[in-house]
Amino acid sequence: MELAHEARELGCWAVEEMGVPVAARAPESTLRRLCLGQGADIWAYILQHVHSQRTVKKIRGNLLWYGHQDSPQVRRKLELEAAVTRLRAEIQELDQSLELMERDTEAQDMAMEQALQHTQDTQRRALLLRAQAGAMRRQQHRLRDPMQRLQNQLRHLQDMERKAKVDVTFGSLTSAALGLEPVVLRDVRTACTLRAQFLQNLLLPQAKRGSLPTPHDDHFGTSYQQWLSSVETLLTNHPPGHVLAALEHLAAEREAEIRSLCSGDGLGDTEISRRAGGLWVCWSPSGAPS
């Protein structure tokens, strides 16, 4: 087996290393005879050390390369190149990380700017709302007194409306002597009496001195203020319909008195009506001096 193996290796060496064509290859029996005896050692040495020029160049190149690889400078260079490659990869990763961080930072800056703008807008709106609230409070304070007056007037008108729905009965013309007259009639009678006193204070000095008194005169001013106060109280406390009815009733009383007084003097109905009409104008609120 060993002889056949050596013969096959010798045949392969002849073809591969020496370039012998396959057709010109020696028979296996010849190759075996060459490997017999001392020829076996000779051919074993030849197979190990004798090669074609192409194979020798390849082996030489391999030896040079591996020898170059074993050089300290080459190893250092290779280490440096590996380190440079590794650093470049790390730098690329850092660049990518920095780019992502820059994008995140820009996004955060934009978000913060928007939040700051929103906060400023909110503060401005809050200032405007506070200013508007202050203006509304001041306006409400200014309107408080007019509103209170309007509410008082409304309550007064509602009270007048309720009073106006109540019918006032004055009774007969002779019941006044018994003191059973309504309040509105008593207030109208008081106002008319004060007006008559005011007219007396106005006309009597004129008849005596020939000059009209001024509102600054003490007696004249007092009677004038009393009359105005009574009229104001009358119009405030009683509905207009009740005041008118009281005036008509009082005028009827005065007409009855005039008829009673004038009947003894023999005056006719025309004269009595004329005097009663003059008294009505004299006692009417529209007859006040301007």
Within a domain: 35: yes
Print the domain residue range for 245: 175-287
Choose the final residue of a domain: 30, 53, 69.
Answer: 69
Return mean pLDDT, the chain: 78
Choose the final residue of a domain: 165, 191, 208.
Answer: 165
Q: What is the pLDDT of residue 289?
A: 37
What are the φ/ψ torsions at residue 180 (nearest 5 degrees)?
-105, 20
Give the span between the Cα atoms of 25 and 34, in whole angstroms. Answer: 14
> Is 263 or 286 the better-scoring residue by pLDDT?
263
Q: Which residues contact 245 (CB under 8 A, 6 or more apart)?
A: 168, 170, 184
Q: What is the pLDDT of residue 27?
A: 76
3-state SS assignment for residue 215: coil
pLDDT in tens, 205-236: 655 655 555 554 556 678 889 889 999 998 88
Residue 38: CA count within 13 A, CB half-sphere:
0
pLDDT in tens, 28-58: 777 677 677 777 777 777 777 666 666 655 5
Q: In terms of domains, do 279 and 186 share one? A: yes
Q: What is the pLDDT of residue 165?
A: 86
Q: Lowest-confidence range among 66-80, 172-186, 271-285?
A: 271-285
What are the φ/ψ torsions at residue 285 (nearest 5 degrees)?
-60, -25
Give the span between the Cα atoms of 67 and 56, in whole angstroms. Answer: 16
pLDDT beyond 80 at 204: no
pLDDT beyond 60 at 151: yes
Q: In terms of domains, do 235 and 254 share one? A: yes
Within a domain: 230: yes
Within a domain: 114: yes
Within a domain: 219: yes
Q: In terms of domains, do 65 and 76 share one? A: no
Residue 236: closest CA among 170, 181, 159: 159
Q: In terms of domains, do 62 and 77 share one? A: no
Within a domain: 204: yes
Within a domain: 263: yes
Q: In terms of domains, do 56 and 90 share one? A: no
Q: What is the pLDDT of residue 65?
A: 54
Q: In terms of domains, do 61 and 77 share one? A: no
DSSP character for 239?
Answer: -
Q: What's the pLDDT band for 93 if we cut at 50, 70, 90?
A: very high
Q: In terms of domains, do 64 and 145 share one? A: no
Q: In terms of domains, do 243 and 272 share one? A: yes
> Which pTM value belongs to this model?
0.45
Q: What is the pLDDT of residue 285?
A: 45
What DSSP string runs through 162-192?
HHHTSPP----TTGGGGT---HHHHHHHHHH
Q: What's the pLDDT band for 273 if we cut at 50, 70, 90?
A: low
Q: What is the pLDDT of residue 64?
A: 55
Q: In terms of domains, do 143 and 104 share one? A: yes
Choose the final residue of a domain: 69, 87, 120.
Answer: 69
Q: What's the pLDDT band for 202 if we cut at 50, 70, 90?
A: confident
| 7 within 8 A of 32, measured Cβ to Cβ | yes
pLDDT beyond 60 at 271: no
Q: In terms of domains, do 20 and 65 share one? A: yes
Q: What's the pLDDT band for 286 if we cut at 50, 70, 90?
A: very low
pLDDT beyond 90 at 112: yes
Q: In terms of domains, do 106 and 54 share one? A: no
Within a domain: 170: no
Give the span between the Cα atoms of 12 and 260, in whole angstroms. Answer: 180
Within a domain: 221: yes
Q: In terms of domains, do 193 and 179 share one? A: yes
> Is 105 or 53 the better-scoring residue by pLDDT?
105
Residue 170: closest CA among 239, 247, 236: 247
Q: How many independent structural domains does the chain possess?
A: 3
Question: Taking the CB of residue 111, how many other CB atoms lie within 10 A of it?
Answer: 10
